[in-house]
Structure 1
Amino acid sequence: MRTFDTEDVNVIVGGIALTGFAEGSFVKAERNEDNFTEYVGAKGEVAVSESNDRTGEITVTLESTSPSVIYLTDLANRKGVNAIVPVQIVDLNQNAIQVGGSECRVRKPATYEADKEISEREFVFFVADLQFK
């Protein structure tokens, strides 16, 4: 029997482990392009063009009350080399899967929303060198 525990999924941004994740899907990573593009000729011959684009995005969703919101908002407001940080997702549930990159930047501050209940804040990182290990 296999089990999954969200406590064993950690997101580390600039050496700091984020806390206060939102309910449901709280982290997602994906490449911006496919690894290859196929070409099929008139007679069915197939060729494949490899993509060297390793850029991608990591999306993190936090509770509005998370102490990490302040940290990520600060990162989003930075400019230049001070805005670039490494981001790693470490999932110890599945053979220690690691996803991330060494050159990441928060696209913009999270949308602000107030409600009678705790709302969520979504931060999207552009990743220049997204790797899945």
Structure 2
Amino acid sequence: MGTYDARKVVTTVDGVIITGYSDGSMVKASKDNDNFEASSSAQGDSIITINGDSLGTIEITLNQTSPSISYLDQLANERKIVPVWVNSNNEVKEVVGGTQGIVTKPADKEFGKSATNRTYTIKVLDYTVK
């Protein structure tokens, strides 16, 4: 039987470890487009078109009291391009990210009776899955 431990997942943005995740999904990472497109002609001839697009998206969800909020808001306001990596050191090792990521905007803010989440979207220009 395999095991998973969320404490073994580390996200770094420009070398800074992100902390204070929300309950539930902490980080979501995905390549924006497929690696290829397949099509066929009316006569059934098939063709594969290789897509050279290397864009990806990393979404980080923090709780309202996370010390990383001000850091990510600052990066968004500076429009600074930085390395972003998500490392899962569980039984199945996974690394995703890239050397050219940019926080798309400061997180939306919601204030109420209970603490709310802050979600950051980071566009990665050279998204890689290792």
TM interval, shorter chain, is over 0.9
Deviation at 1:115, TM superposition (A): 1.7
Tell me if structure 1 keeps the 8 A contact 2:3–2:91: no
Q: Secondary structure at the match of 1:129?
A: coil
Query: In the alignment, what sits opposite 1:42?
Result: 42
What is the aligned residue count? Answer: 130
Query: In the alignment, what sits opposite 1:29?
Result: 29
Q: Secondary structure at the match of 2:83?
A: strand
Matches within 5 A, 1:41-120: 41-79=41-79, 83-120=80-117
Matches within 5 A, 1:121-132: 121-132=118-129
Q: Which amino acid aligns with 2:60?
A: V
Percent identity for Structure 1 against Structure 2: 38
When normalised by structure 2's length, the TM-score is: 0.97
Listed as ranges, the gaps of 5+ residues in structure 1 are none
Q: Secondary structure at the match of 1:12?
A: strand
Aligned structure 1 segments of 4 or more residues deviating by more than 3 angstroms: none
For 1:44 and 1:23, the matched residues in 2 are separated by 49
> What value does the CA root-mean-square deviation take over the aligned residues?
0.9
Q: Secondary structure at the match of 2:98?
A: strand
For 1:4 and 1:115, the matched residues in 2 are separated by 33
- Per-residue CA shift, 1:12-33, capped at 9, x if unaligned? 1110110000111111111111
Deviation at 1:44, TM superposition (A): 1.6
- Per-residue CA shift, 1:43-68, capped at 9, x if unaligned? 22211000000011100000010000
The more displaced of 92-101 and 68-77 is 92-101
